[in-house]
């Protein structure tokens, strides 16, 4: 089967060998990256659904999740951002809103995966967001046609057979070398979590740990994932140094939290400004990444003068973020990861066993009153 193109438009691509009968393109013409995003994202939400029994959604960009979440409560910021008013959406729409709200700037133009068939409510919601495609185990009547009108008719709609199970082995060819390995079939369950120190994991923190481990399994390594209340709030992906993963995930989580500050939520931007543009300004202000030119532009856009969020107030608000679970796809090599995690409100750390300096990691967790749980499972993904 010929694809729209490969990694880049100048590369031709096609599906060869094996069988793709379990995946159907119901609308649009898919590229290689569309397939890679869709198939990885589907595995994430399917695993999360099996592990927790809750509807799951993921927002993927370039073969890593910008966000992943289980069904759950929506806070005021989410309701304001996504125009929900006082209504409570169904479980599938709620899961996707929570996934997209984790890092909505990165989710712009995402590949969406949901664990349940797409219903009318989710289709209506997706009509108002910028996305490249979706993969789901089914679609309510009429929803494929509605989704297909997105992107001037170029929106990609995948349907996957949820009963499909892959072969025992998988093969990758790189520069003429074919490498075969076992498919990673080990279920991610609460039995993998072995508390080392600190209070026992609660039901909520166990669910967060499972979601974090499953998210790490389908994220480009090295990876650190921060989870809170059944949704990722910071994903540090693809860094060569693990402490950089921790810092990146922490920065994203802090930005997510600062978006909940009243001065960010009530930023006096024009009422007719598109949602994504509004979000981009809020995120840049929350992250503290505005350049001098951007600050001048923002000042011109505001409909009333605003006092900038003072550093002291920003720091005080950031200190209120708590209850996060950190999951690392590989063991944490040095205690600097734990010190950074503590600064970002982490209360539980989950890592594979085996670090040379594992005792110093445990000591650091004890000092910061962080519960440490170890597994025998490394979750590298490339």
Catalytic residue set: 61-62, 222, 382
Which letter, b or e, does each residue of 176-185 get, where b requires 16 or more Cβ atoms within 10 Å of its Cβ?
A: eeeeeeeeee
The single-letter DSSP state of residue 72 is -
Q: Which residue has the tokens 């949602």?
A: 275
Residue 368, token pair as written in the block: 């910061």
Please list the residues that pair with 234 across neighbouring strands.
226
- Contact, 194 vs 375, CB < 8 A? yes
Quote the CA–CA distance of 166 and 160 in Å, as a whole number: 12
Parallel, antiparallel, or unpaired: how do β-strands 223-228 and 56-61 relate?
unpaired
- What is the DSSP annotation of 208-241? HHHHHHHHHHTSPSSEEEEEETTEEEEEEES-SS
Largest Cα span, the chain: 62
3-state secondary structure of 44: helix
Return the axis-axis angle of helices 275-287 and 242-258, rounded to nearest 10°: 120
Angle CA 118–119–122, to nearest 5? 80
Query: 82 φ, ψ to 5°?
Result: -100, 15
| CA end-to-end distance (rounded Å), the chain | 24
Give the span between the Cα atoms of 246 and 226, in whole angstroms: 9
CA distances from 93 to 49, 84, 156 (A): 15, 11, 19
Give one DSSP letter per residue of 305-364, joined into a string. Answer: ------HHHHHHHHTT---EEEEESS---STHHHHHHHHTTEEEEEEES--TTHHHHHHH
The residue with tokens 């072969």 is 167
Q: With contact defined as beta carbons under 8 Å apart, do 116 and 145 qualify?
A: no
């Amino acid at each position: 089967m010929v694809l729209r193109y490969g990694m880049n438009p100048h590369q031709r691509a096609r599906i060869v060998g094996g069988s793709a009968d379990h995946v159907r393109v119901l609308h649009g013409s898919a590229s290689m990256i569309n397939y890679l995003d869709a198939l990885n994202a589907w595995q994430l939400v399917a695993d999360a659904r099996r592990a927790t029994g809750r509807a799951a959604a993921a927002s993927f960009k370039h073969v890593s999740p910008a966000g992943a979440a289980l069904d759950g409560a929506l806070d005021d910021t989410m309701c304001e951002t996504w125009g929900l008013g006082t209504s409570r959406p169904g479980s599938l729409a709620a899961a996707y809103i929570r996934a997209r709200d984790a890092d909505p700037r990165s989710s712009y133009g995402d590949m969406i995966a949901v664990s349940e068939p797409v219903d009318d409510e989710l289709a209506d919601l997706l009509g108002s967001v910028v996305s490249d495609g979706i993969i789901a185990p089914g679609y309510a009547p009429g929803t494929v046609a509605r989704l297909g009108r997105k992107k001037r008719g170029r929106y990609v709609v995948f349907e996957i057979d949820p009963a499909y199970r892959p072969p025992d082995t998988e093969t990758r060819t790189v520069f003429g070398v074919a490498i075969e390995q076992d498919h990673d079939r080990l279920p991610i369950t609460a039995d993998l979590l072995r508390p080392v120190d600190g209070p026992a994991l609660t039901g909520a923190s166990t669910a967060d740990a499972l979601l974090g481990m499953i998210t790490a399994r389908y994220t480009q390594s090295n990876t650190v994932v921060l989870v809170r209340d059944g949704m990722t709030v910071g994903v540090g992906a693809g860094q060569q140094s693990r402490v950089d993963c921790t810092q990146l995930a922490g920065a994203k989580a802090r930005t997510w939290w600062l978006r909940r500050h009243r001065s960010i939520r009530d930023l006096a931007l024009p009422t007719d400004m598109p949602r994504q543009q509004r979000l981009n300004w809020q995120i840049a202000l929350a992250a503290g990444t505005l350049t001098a030119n951007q600050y001048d532009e923002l000042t011109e856009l505001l409909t009333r003068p605003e006092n900038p969020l003072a550093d002291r107030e920003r720091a005080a608000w950031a200190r209120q973020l708590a209850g996060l679970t950190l999951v690392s796809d590989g063991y944490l090599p040095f205690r600097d990861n734990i010190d950074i995690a503590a600064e970002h409100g982490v209360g539980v750390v989950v890592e594979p066993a085996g670090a040379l300096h594992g005792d110093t990691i445990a000591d650091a967790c004890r000092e910061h009153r962080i519960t440490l749980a170890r597994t025998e499972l490394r979750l590298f993904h490339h």
